[in-house]
A and B are shown apart, each in its own frame.
Chain A
Amino acid sequence: MERIPILRMGHLLLVTIQVEMDDRIALRLQEDLTNQIEKIGARGVLIDISALEIVDSFIARMISNISAMAQLLNARTVVVGMQPAVAITLVELGLTMSGIKTALNVERGMAMLTTSEDFESGNGEQ
């Protein structure tokens, strides 16, 4: 079964969604990611959706959920690279994903995660 790879970079996890997300893949990702966060004690999760052309309300909710779950596990989530068409569709659907941090590209998202206070204090604890 197809699954989305989760890359580890220190205390960050990098998820690049390259395939068309269907509901099963999304659920699988949710499970894998939470396990990984717990396993390595990740402080930040970066989800790159720049390859996604279509995001429906279910996928949007999945991403929201993943972000909330990561928060509970003491990791911050940044969603990067959302396509204009996707942003327009989500706004038209009335989903503003207000709880989620977003950045234009991976570089900026990475900067957000590494400079965030939580991450630094998290580092300090270790």
Chain B
Amino acid sequence: MAHVQMGTAAILKQHRNQILTDWMKELSNGLQSDGRISNSELSDQTREFLNLLQSASSINGIGDVESESWVPIREFLDGISRSRAQQGFSSAETATFIFSLKKPLFDFLRQELGNDPQVLADEIWNATELLDHLGLHTIKTFQKAREDVIRRQQEELLELSTPVVKVWDGVLALPIIGTLDSARTQIVMESLLQKIVDTGSEIAIIDITGVPTVDTMTAQHLLKTVAAIRMMGADCIISGIRPQIAQTIVHLGVDLQGVTTKATLADALTMALKRSGFIVSRNKA
């Protein structure tokens, strides 16, 4: 077995440059060159990977990929898949980086050990297992990086999506864009109520023009928000109810009777101003 393990490591060392060239050829066949990654960058990465692979396999032979000696190579792959995820590569393209090493490597294994089928089969099996492990590791990291990106975007969306605007002295408006789920309602409610306390506004307008659909849950959340606003001593107007949404609300049997609703934000603002005792008039010249 020790002899067999030396096989791959020795071949890697001996035919390093040839393997590199062939691997690069494989890579440029597999990937469309659309400028996301340059050839020189790719060849740097392949050279670095082979160096690490060589040093890792020469210490312990090809053993457990999870073991200590494989840490540098795993970290290197982490870096690669993370940067691939950011550059917008697919998971298949990222994994191809590792898997396309198989062909050149196996070619040389066959060339060197071709006269002993038993050894050749063993060695190919070992190498396959190793490269599969590394490939899987790459995909795992790639996916994790992608999920991180998605999670960060979701958090940013949540923060972006709840701006409370002061439209007049004592009148706040909250345009909601996108679906209202429980988590969002919580944030919307908190930021609106806090703003009401901070500004001492007596009327809040919730504009749902940007809410694509209203179901019973959404209506429930809206009613809760209105109840909380009322309980604090302010009042709430819901505006931006589109015809379809009005139909849905009635069909669902949701009771919005106690809530003031208006078709447009302008109507709601007019009403809010009237309630606060403002008179808006056109200055006729």
Q: A: which residues have CB within 8 A of B?
A: 79-80, 82-85, 87-88, 90-92, 96-97, 102-105, 108-109
CB of B227 closer than 8 Å to a CB of A: yes
| Docked-complex contact B230 and A102, CB < 8 angstroms | yes
Q: Give B196-216 interface residues, CB cut-off 8 Å to A.
A: 196-197, 200-202
Measured in the bound complex, the distance between the Cα atoms of B227 and A84 in whole Å is 12
| Docked-complex contact B202 and A102, CB < 8 angstroms | no
| Docked-complex contact B193 and A84, CB < 8 angstroms | yes
| Docked-complex contact A104 and B193, CB < 8 angstroms | no
| Docked-complex contact B200 and A91, CB < 8 angstroms | no
| Docked-complex contact B200 and A84, CB < 8 angstroms | no
Measured in the bound complex, the distance between the Cα atoms of B190 and A109 in whole Å is 23
Q: B: which residues have CB within 8 A of A?
A: 186, 189-190, 193-194, 196-197, 200-202, 224, 227-234
| Docked-complex contact B189 and A82, CB < 8 angstroms | no
- Among A83, A88, A108, the one with the most B-chain Cβ atoms within 10 Å of its Cβ is A88
| Docked-complex contact A102 and B197, CB < 8 angstroms | no
A87-B200 contact, Cβ under 8 Å, with A80-B233, A104-B233, A109-B233: no
13 sampled A-B residue pairs with Cβ under 8 A: A79-B233, A82-B231, A82-B232, A84-B190, A84-B196, A84-B228, A84-B232, A85-B190, A88-B186, A90-B228, A90-B231, A104-B196, A105-B233
Q: Which residues of B contact A85 (CB under 8 A)?
A: 190
Query: Nearest Cβ in chain A — how far from B76, in angstroms?
Result: 48
- Residue in chain A with minimal CB distance to B200: A104
Query: Nearest Cβ in chain B — how far from A121, in angstroms?
Result: 23
A103-B228 contact, Cβ under 8 Å, with A87-B193, A108-B202: no
Q: Which residues of A contact B229 (CB under 8 A)?
A: 87
Measured in the bound complex, the distance between the Cα atoms of B189 and A30 in whole Å is 31
Measured in the bound complex, the distance between the Cα atoms of B224 and A103 in whole Å is 18
Q: Which residues of B contact A87 (CB under 8 A)?
A: 193, 228-229, 231-232
Q: Which 8 A-B pairs have the closest CB atoms?
A: A84-B193, A102-B233, A103-B233, A87-B228, A104-B233, A91-B228, A87-B231, A82-B232
| Docked-complex contact A108 and B233, CB < 8 angstroms | yes
| Docked-complex contact B200 and A102, CB < 8 angstroms | no
| Docked-complex contact B227 and A96, CB < 8 angstroms | yes
Q: Which residues of A contact B201 (CB under 8 A)?
A: 104
Query: Nearest Cβ in chain A — how far from B178, in angstroms?
Result: 21
- Residue in chain A with minimal CB distance to B196: A104
Q: Which residues of B contact A82 (CB under 8 A)?
A: 231-233
- Residue in chain B with minimal CB distance to A95: B231
Q: Which residues of B contact A96 (CB under 8 A)?
A: 227, 230-231
Q: Which residues of B contact A79 (CB under 8 A)?
A: 233
| Docked-complex contact A104 and B234, CB < 8 angstroms | yes
A102-B231 contact, Cβ under 8 Å, with A88-B189, A91-B224, A108-B202: yes
